[in-house]
Structure 1
Amino acid sequence: MTNLLSIKNLRTEFDTRNGLLPAVADVSIELARGQVLGLVGESGSGKSVTGFSILGLVDLPGRIASGSVIFDGQELVGCDQESLRKLRGKRIAMIFQDPMMTLNPVLTVETQMVETVLAHEAVSKAVARSRAVEVLGKVGIASPSERIGQYPHQFSGGMRQRVAIAIAMLHRPDLIIADEPTTALDVTVQGQILYEMQQLVSNSGTALIWITHDLAVVAGLADHIAVMYAGRIVEYGTAEAVLNDPRHPYTRGLLDSVPTTTTPGMRLRQIPGATPSITELGASCAFAARCNYVQTACTQMPEMSSLGAHQVRCWHPLMPGHVTKHSEVSR
């Protein structure tokens, strides 16, 4: 299967008072048309910066220091801004966690959606408006033909997010990067949005990168999962393999932290310690200070290595069927 998106050894840095901060380091991802990738990790792990880097939306003092982002045969790293503008919204769309990063508060939803269509397609305003109304209905906006004439402040937070999602879906793009877009939505609406996304992927072959910290969401949505920690991908594989048989201790810890996996009457399992500051990372494995299986080799950062259905960045990956003992996570 030909890849729509191929990221190789991506590194994105930010210049800070404490030196260069590698928010994304050595990230490699491949994604085919019609596939869904769940990009999972804690806050600050580099998930959102990875999404911004794909679209060339990293502003100073940040920059893509090295690596390659090839979209449908076109190299995007170093690409001129005009070429990127033609791709954004039309062939690659991004849904932000905050809908007001998409919506202009002084323009009606109709103006914003119609102009989005007209910016990339030579169609009449009537056709553009009709498409906008149709997509608003698909994301659960009641009476879309009337509400399209309203301003963002006349919508609730959850409704604004649905409008932002609708704008991303207007052109049936080749790739959608969704940065935790359903975090502010209730469970019922979240399910509706996920269903519409699945339909879009299935019917039009759109590829989807779903950035989240919620493993329950990607469990029912993603084909593949990439787990990020401290700017690096530490485990990558099919959703079934990663969720049912994780090989990296961090992935195992994330799964053990889910309340539904804890035996009734026992304390909630947790990963000891806290995520290290990226500015203070040394040469060792970033997870070493929190890992129950740390050994001498962990003083050096491991490379990604293939292990069955997984790629794992670990010197001592867990064995198949490994079950974490409660004593191991509550030391």
Structure 2
Amino acid sequence: MADTTNTSAPTLVAAQAAAPTLEVRNLQTHFFTRAGVVKAVNDVSFTIGRGKVLGLVGESGSGKTVTGFSIMKLIDPPGRIVGGSILFQGRDLATLSEEEMRTLRGNRIAMIFQDPMMTLNPVLRIDTQMIETVQAHEKVSDADARARARDALGMVGIPSPDERLKSYPHQFSGGMRQRVAIAIALLHRPDLIVADEPTTALDVTIQGQILAEVQKLCATTGTAMLWITHDLSVVAGLADDIAVMYAGRVVEYGDVGEVLDAPLHPYTHGLIGSVPSRNKRGVPLRQIPGMTPSLLNLPEGCSFRARCPRAAEDCIVMPTLHPWLPNRLARCHHPHLEEVESA
């Protein structure tokens, strides 16, 4: 009789090591309302490797925050994930129970919310919250947990961290509370961080400091990060890759430098063109005409065609996310290939 003992174990370990930290495949998250079905996330796919940062950008209502909440399995009724898979180190989060997700959240997967009070309890001191966060996943002494909490506060630029640990959230400014929330997310050096516009409320100096710490964390510990934002300048300096969302779908995906220098999709082109620094002084700002379509009643075919200067008859058919160039994808029938060739 053949010996099959442990023959699959090395293969399984090798497969997990080779797998990207996060791979989202054809994710669909819908909200079932009285007015109809809101397709907030509609066939979204992307991959984040170990130690890499993916910038997820788009205007308000594009579905980027719902994508982040879906990965964390924090979608409340009437919303739910209706399709696709969310592979974290090869393990499909979409199939896990709430108890199994709780062991991962805050430990191996962390989220930084746009509103820090979604992280902080207003009636507990900061040290209580941070120590409990450490001890919820690791058996360490109060002194060791406090030391880790103090170091995390110092990492995000909070002065006199020993003293500030004794404070309550209401004794901090909005920006300071956000820094505490970021520090809590960094406590366990997670394998994946989902950051939902975490530096919006911070001044430029502190924002730069936190971005530098985030880059250092990813480079030294291998943490993968999904950075959700509308700020292209932050993505340009932080991310390795970029995914641009519009009306619930990814419309462009690729290397951040290549996409920002020579965008393929007309929406990305318009988004970059509307940045004030891209416009000449004294010339009116360029802007994308029209309004984002309602997710309750999306138009047939390409969702951007009513606003697109390159729209044609074939845009009545929804384009696929096509690999027009090496490592460059765009959901468009008429991408700006001519500008890439001249760049």
Give the structure-1-normalised TM-score: 0.96
Paired letter, 2:243: A
* Identical columns (%): 61
Which letter maps to 2:276? P
Distance 2:72 2:66 in 1: 10
Q: How far, CA to CA, are the matches of 2:104 and 2:310 in structure 1?
A: 45
5 Å matches for 1:64-143?
Answer: 64-143=81-160
Answering whether residue 319 of structure 2 is matched by residue 302 of structure 1, we say yes
Distance in 2, matches of 1:78 and 1:122, equals 28
- 1:178 equivalent among 162, 178, 195: 195
**Corresponding residue for 1:145?**
162
User: What is the one-letter code of the residue matched to 1:198?
Assistant: Q
State how far apart, in whole Å, the 2-side matches of 1:91 and 1:317 are.
39
Contact 1:249 1:317 in 2 (8 A): yes
- Give 2:303's match in structure 1, choosing from 286, 295, 300: 286
Secondary structure of the residue aligned to 2:238 is: coil
1:211 maps to a residue whose letter is I
Structure-2 separation of matches of 1:15 and 1:2? 34
Structure 1 Cα separation of the partners of residues 91 and 269 of structure 2: 36
2:110–2:185 Cα contact (<8 Å) kept: yes
Identify the match of residue 312 of structure 1 among 322, 330, 343: 330
Q: Deviations over 1:250-272 (max 9, x none)?
A: 00001100111112221111000
CA contact (8 A) 1:247 1:320 kept: no
**2:258 matched to 1:236?**
no
- Determine the structure 2 residue equivalent to 1:248: 265
Residue 162 in 1 paired to residue 185 in 2? Answer: no
Q: Residue 27 of structure 2: which of 3, 10, 20 is its match?
A: 10
1:273-323 deviation digits (Å, cap 9, x = unpaired):
111111110322110110001100111211110011311000111124269
Q: Which residue of 1 aligns with 2:228?
A: 211
**Is the Cα–Cα contact under 8 Å of residues 245 and 251 in structure 2 kept in the other structure?**
yes
Q: Distance in 1 between matches of 2:190 and 2:321?
A: 31
Unpaired runs of 5+ residues, structure 1, are 324-331
What residue is the counterpart of 1:197 in the other structure? 214
Secondary structure in 2 aligned to 1:193? Answer: helix
User: How many residues in Structure 1 have an aligned counterpart in Structure 2?
Assistant: 323
Please state whether the residue corresponding to 1:260 is helix, strand or coil.
Answer: helix
Contact (CA 8 Å) 1:37, 1:224: kept in 2 or not?
A: yes
User: What is the distance in 1 between the residues matched to 2:285 and 2:37?
Assistant: 37
- Per-residue CA deviation, residues 159-198 of structure 1 (Å, 9 max, x unaligned), is 0000000000000000000000000111111101101101
DSSP-derived class of the 1:51 partner = helix
Whether the 8 Å CA contact 2:31–2:40 is kept in 1: the answer is yes
TM-score (structure 2 length as normaliser)? 0.93
Q: CA deviation at 1:78?
A: 2.5
| Cα offsets for 1:63-109 (capped at 9, x unmatched) | 00000001012111131011100000000000000000000000000
Question: Following the alignment from structure 1 to structure 2, what is the Cα–Cα distance between the partners of residues 280 and 80?
Answer: 32
Which deviations, in whole Å up to 9, do the C-alpha atoms of 1:4-38 show, x marking residues without a partner?
A: 11111000000112211110000001111100000
Structure 2 equivalent of residue 326 of structure 1: none
5+ long unaligned stretches in structure 2: 1-17
SS of 1:220's partner is helix
Distance 2:32 2:211 in 1: 37
**Distance in 2 between the 1:294 and 1:29 partners?**
26
- Note if contact 1:95-1:179 (Cα within 8 Å) is conserved in structure 2: yes
8 A Cα contact 2:293 2:299, kept in partner: no
1:265-280 counterparts in 2 under 5 A? 265-280=282-297
